[in-house]
Amino acid sequence: MRHCVPALVLCAFLACTVSAQQRSTVYTSVISTGAFIVGAANSETGLFYQAGNGDTAWTHTGPMRIRANGFAVDERSRGRILYIAAGNGVHRSSDAGATWRVLTDWRVTEVLSIALDPRRPGRLVIGTAYGVFVSKDTGATWKPGNAGRKKPLFTSMVAADPHARDRYYCTAEDGLYRSDDGARTWKRTSLRATAVRSVAVHPGRAGMLAAGTENEGLHLSTDAGRSWTRCTAGIAHETFWAIAFDPSNPTRIYAGGHESGVYISRDFGASWVRSVKGLKVTTVHSLAVDPLDARVLYASTSWGGIFRSRDAGDSWEYAGLTDSQVVCVRMYAF
Amino acid sequence: MILLSVFAAIGHAQSAPDFDPRARRITAYFDTAAAPGILGAAVRYHARKDLQRADSLFLHSRELTQPRGDMFWMYVVIGTYLHGKGVMSPDAERAARTIWKTYFPYRGDTENHWCLYYTSLYLAAESWPGLPGSEWYNGRSSDENLREAREYLIHWVTLTTSIGQGEFDSPTYLPEYVIPLTLLAQFAKDAEMKQRGRMMLEYLYADFASDHLDGMYLGGNARDGATTVFNPRSAAAAEFAHLYFGAPATAVSGWTVFSALSDFRLPAIIVDIANDTAHTMLARERKRVRNVIRFGEERNPPVYKTTYRTGDYGLSSLQGGILQPIQQHTWSVRFKGAKPYSTIFGLHPYWSGRELAMFFPEQEKILIDDVIKSKGTYAKDTKWTGSSPFERVFQHRNTLIALYDIPAGTTSEHIDLFFPKTLDERIVDRRAGYSAERATRTSACTRCSAASGCACRRTRTTTASAARIRRTGTSSRCDRRRRSAALTRSRSAASRARRSSSSARAASPRRTPASTATCSTSPSPTSATKTENWST
């Protein structure tokens, strides 16, 4: 028995350690708080993170006041390599946020999103107010990648397809575009809504993707964009900026946008229910599902900070970053 | 471009006796003020006197101890450092270097932000060459920062001198261009960049000179302030007009300190253009629209500005439409005189998320809420700056027609005209829709026509009376639109002064498709009009 006690303690310690290691990390980007004025004494904005421990405290990392529109975390590096897509350009840290380097020069500005492809470690694809730019050397050099697109080239979001090598999607003012050659050339999919604002690729099912538009609803495709179905059953809103798939349940999808709250579908978009219980701000910029516990969701809002759900979106609780315009939230399990 | 080549041919610079006393007045303020801040350090460093006090002001300045302000921080810190280089203490020198490693400024999202940012970064990178990225806030080496800043500045100079400035002719944002260029012209080690700085200063001041009257920047302007648009002599540009053109003195602020310390002097011909009251002048200028990122294929469509200036007034206009979000000032007459609020102008107070989304990348539906947090008047129909897609302006010399084709259901179904209380005389013929205004030697005649007539209403603002032309009644089936136009004719005239002020509201009756607002100036009011003195 005397020998068992330390062994039990050790086992308990290891269990806790494993549990702690398996906790997801939540990252968010805040572009503004309260009355943001360029050049004024603004409060902290930029990239924030927290271990998914259920409280409202967040840690800031990286430069402040750079209009951080989006970010990406290199999962292979377990959070050491971070990218911020910002008004100032693309920022990179290779030491978990201790030091940063701006990868882009004056030619690249108003960066709105960044996509990493784990199979192409050196390739970065960014969406900007002036179109798509591509780097093949981890940001050392950049080239525009907009062949096949019509002007204006405004691109609010780019996404890599994890199921098809060199395939990317980008939003545009005249629809959703797909590239099959590493974001060099693009072809418009059959989704030709006036302005597509968001796109999400299902992490587990090839060909499944969803797109949110300005004023023209939410659309789903099961064939990599060749055909689309507009989601209508149960949906009373028209502008969607946020989409998230449940990685553990292919039929469950979440979506949100302007004053919409969070819509939940449990049948791959055939029907939807609106969830606003506890969601004090209903304009939703971004949604993320915990890769380790699909019941846990985060919703980032416009001027309302972050909200968390512990019951797969049925109800929400305030999770911090008060008064902030939180434009992007993502969860990673390192 | 043509002006610049003329300057080169003339060659002689502004005489020191003109400039220097005015510059001394500015620097003296910061030399003697109790709490002059970092600019007090710059003045002392430049004069090579009281250096201990200069070091203390520099080291204890907010810019060094609690840095904030992004590109506005950058220029003042590098400018002060460059004036103190070689005479500042080693501690101050070290602090100046370190702060460029620890404070991370935002580059900003407007043309003036980038001019400030890259000019300051250029001078900083030139000041501390050969340093690795670890010694700079952005992780980029001295060489990388210098190269990037140089490339951008050359790009900006080329763009501006070929298709015009985007934030052109701004009474409020002029300093954000001339201050960094003054520092570049004075301190750049690279002879070409130094020359570019000097030439761009001459370019911008020549641009100002052709639109200058008595300290005022004649507008159309890309961006004007919510209060300076009423009172043009209170704008920051007036301080530079005083320093360089000899316009009436203004209160001293920090804007002109680096110019007052600079060895840059304007060619005399630019000063002459600014102050030529003996001739009428017609200037036609080409500018560019701010970068369009949505709802348009062309990045920088053209802006056409027309300015007709006499010794007494200037009538100036842009073509109308959305050329800038938020602070556009499309047309006005501004007149010489000792009184404030020396302007008459009009606008259709329009706002929309779509307008903002043309220029800003955030989501269209939240942009209005975002913008009004800092620019509170943007979404108010009482605002006095802003663009409208329903406005078209035509100007021929001293006559201006502003046509407003305002569809039902837009943000404001009226146009506003501003008439200052400080007019010497205002005569209104309500039935005909005419009014005549006089200020010192300038007379203006305004005709507001809305559909088949105008209903006039006096409104009050904090500074002046205003005339509002508002659509009333319902639209006819055959034409749901209402048209308004303003015609301005300006001429100088001397007549007796009488204090009056008034304002009017013009409304278009039902079933009449067009409304017209006409504003003009004439030598003297006709005898047929009825004079009204409205106390406001």
Q: Is B138 close to A102, i.e. CB distance below 8 A? A: yes
> Is residue B9, in this structure, part of any structural domain at all?
no
Closest approach of chain A CAs to the CA of B288, in angstroms?
Answer: 17
Chain B residues whose beta carbon lies within 8 Å of the beta carbon of residue A109? 107, 109
Kindly state whether residues B87 and B215 are assigned to the same domain. Answer: no
B358-B361-B365 Cα angle (round to 5): 75
> Is residue B166, in this structure, part of any structural domain at all?
yes
Chain B residues whose beta carbon lies within 8 Å of the beta carbon of residue A150? 297
Q: Which of A39, A109, A173 sits opposite B294 (nearest CB)?
A: A173
Condensed to tens digits (0 to 9), the pLDDT of residues B438-497 reads 888 888 888 877 764 455 555 554 445 556 655 433 222 222 334 445 555 666 543 332
pLDDT band for position A42 (50/70/90)? low
Kindly state whether residues B122 and B98 are assigned to the same domain. Answer: no
Closest approach of chain B CAs to the CA of A37, in angstroms?
Answer: 6
Contact B502, B428 (CB under 8 A): yes
Beta strands at A143-144 and A253-257: parallel, antiparallel or unpaired = unpaired
> Is residue A19, in this structure, part of any structural domain at all?
no
Among candidate residues B218, B120, B229, the one with its CA nearest the CA of residue B168: B218
Closest approach of chain A CAs to the CA of B285, in angstroms?
Answer: 27
Q: Is B148 close to A105, i.e. CB distance below 8 A? A: yes
> Is residue B536, in this structure, part of any structural domain at all?
no
Contact B148, A104 (CB under 8 A): no
Average pLDDT, whole number, for chain A?
92
Cβ neighbors of A184 (< 8 A, separation 6 or more) are: A134, A145, A147
> Is residue B63, in this structure, part of any structural domain at all?
yes
Kindly state whether residues B132 and B238 are assigned to the same domain. Answer: yes
Cβ neighbourhood burial of B346 (10 Å; 0-12, 13-18, 19+):
buried
- pLDDT at residue A35, rounded to an integer: 59
Domain boundary among B70, B91, B106: B106
Kindly state whether residues B365 and B509 are assigned to the same domain. Answer: yes
Q: Is B294 close to A152, i.e. CB distance below 8 A? A: yes
Q: Residue A75: give the domain boundaries.
A: 68-300
Domain boundary among B106, B125, B154: B106
Reduced to 3 DSSP states, what percent helix, strand and coil does chain A have, rounded to the nearest 5?
A: 5, 40, 50
Closest approach of chain B CAs to the CA of A171, in angstroms?
Answer: 13
Establish, for the pair of chains A and B, how many residue pairs have beta carbons separated by less than 8 Å: 110
> Is residue A20, in this structure, part of any structural domain at all?
no
Hey, what are B86's tokens?
């070689």
The complex scores an ipTM of 0.91
Q: Is A129 close to B293, i.e. CB distance below 8 A? A: yes
Q: Is A110 close to B71, i.e. CB distance below 8 A? A: no
> Is residue A13, in this structure, part of any structural domain at all?
no
Condensed to tens digits (0 to 9), the pLDDT of residues A220-237 reads 999 999 999 999 999 999
Q: Is A283 close to B294, i.e. CB distance below 8 A? A: no
Beta strands at B331-335 and B343-347: parallel, antiparallel or unpaired = antiparallel
- pLDDT at residue B91, rounded to an integer: 98
Kindly state whether residues B412 and B457 are assigned to the same domain. Answer: yes
CATH number for A189: 2.130.10.10
Which of B101, B289, B366 would you mutate first to test chain A, the one with the most A CBs within 10 A?
A: B366
Please tell me the distance from the alpha carbon of residue B164 to that of residue B166, in angstroms, as a whole number. 7
Q: Is B106 close to A69, i.e. CB distance below 8 A? A: no
Percent of chain A surpassing pLDDT 90: 84
- pLDDT at residue B356, rounded to an integer: 97
> Is residue A135, in this structure, part of any structural domain at all?
yes
Q: Is A152 close to B293, i.e. CB distance below 8 A? A: yes
Q: Which of A40, A87, A258 sits opposite B109 (nearest CB)?
A: A87
> Is residue B443, in this structure, part of any structural domain at all?
yes
Kindly state whether residues B375 and B515 are assigned to the same domain. Answer: yes
Kindly state whether residues B34 and B183 are assigned to the same domain. Answer: no
Hey, what are A323's tokens?
């008064």
Other beta carbons within 10 Å of B175: 24
Q: Which of A101, A152, A283 sits opposite B139 (nearest CB)?
A: A101
- pLDDT at residue A36, rounded to an integer: 59
- pLDDT at residue A305, rounded to an integer: 94
Q: Which of B106, B134, B294 sits opposite A154 (nearest CB)?
A: B294
Residue of B nearest to A88 (CA): B107
**Three-class SS of residue A190?**
coil
Hey, what are B325's tokens?
């979000």
Please tell me the distance from the alpha carbon of residue B205 to that of residue B210, in angstroms, as a whole number. 9
Q: Is B361 close to A285, i.e. CB distance below 8 A? A: no
Kindly state whether residues B124 and B100 are assigned to the same domain. Answer: no
Exposure string (b/e) for A40-51, b if CB count within 10 Å is 16 or more? eebeebbbbbbe
Among candidate residues A187, A14, A92, A143, the one with its CA nearest the CA of residue B139: A92
Total domains present in chain B: 3
> Is residue A62, in this structure, part of any structural domain at all?
no
Q: Which of B107, B366, B374 sits opposite A283 (nearest CB)?
A: B366
Kindly state whether residues B362 and B257 are assigned to the same domain. Answer: no
- pLDDT at residue B12, rounded to an integer: 47
Kindly state whether residues B372 and B228 are assigned to the same domain. Answer: no
pLDDT < 50 regions, chain B: 1-12, 15-16, 452-453, 461-463, 471-484, 493-536
> Is residue B533, in this structure, part of any structural domain at all?
no
User: What length is written for chain A?
Assistant: 334
Please state, in angstroms and as integers, the Cα–Cα distance from residue A265 to each residue in A217, A285, B284, following that order: 14, 18, 60
List the alpha helices (DSSP H) in chain A: 4-22
- pLDDT at residue B451, rounded to an integer: 60
Q: Is B361 close to A112, i.e. CB distance below 8 A? A: yes
Kindly state whether residues B373 and B512 are assigned to the same domain. Answer: yes
Which of B101, B102, B107 would you mutate first to test chain A, the one with the most A CBs within 10 A?
A: B107
> Is residue A242, in this structure, part of any structural domain at all?
yes
> Is residue B446, in this structure, part of any structural domain at all?
yes
Mean pLDDT, residues A307-328 taken together: 95
Residue A8 has pLDDT above 80, yes or no: no
pLDDT band for position A10 (50/70/90)? very low
Condensed to tens digits (0 to 9), the pLDDT of residues A144-156 reads 999 999 999 999 9
Q: Which of A101, A129, A195 sits opposite B140 (nearest CB)?
A: A101
Q: Is B292 close to A151, i.e. CB distance below 8 A? A: no
Kindly state whether residues B152 and B248 are assigned to the same domain. Answer: yes
Which residue reads 């067009």 in tokens?
B514
Q: Residue B485: give the domain boundaries.
A: 310-520
Chain B residues whose beta carbon lies within 8 Å of the beta carbon of residue A130? 293
> Is residue A194, in this structure, part of any structural domain at all?
yes
Total domains present in chain A: 1
Which of A36, A64, A102, A141 would you mutate first to test chain B, the one with the most B CBs within 10 A?
A: A102
Chain A residues whose beta carbon lies within 8 Å of the beta carbon of residue B113? 38-39
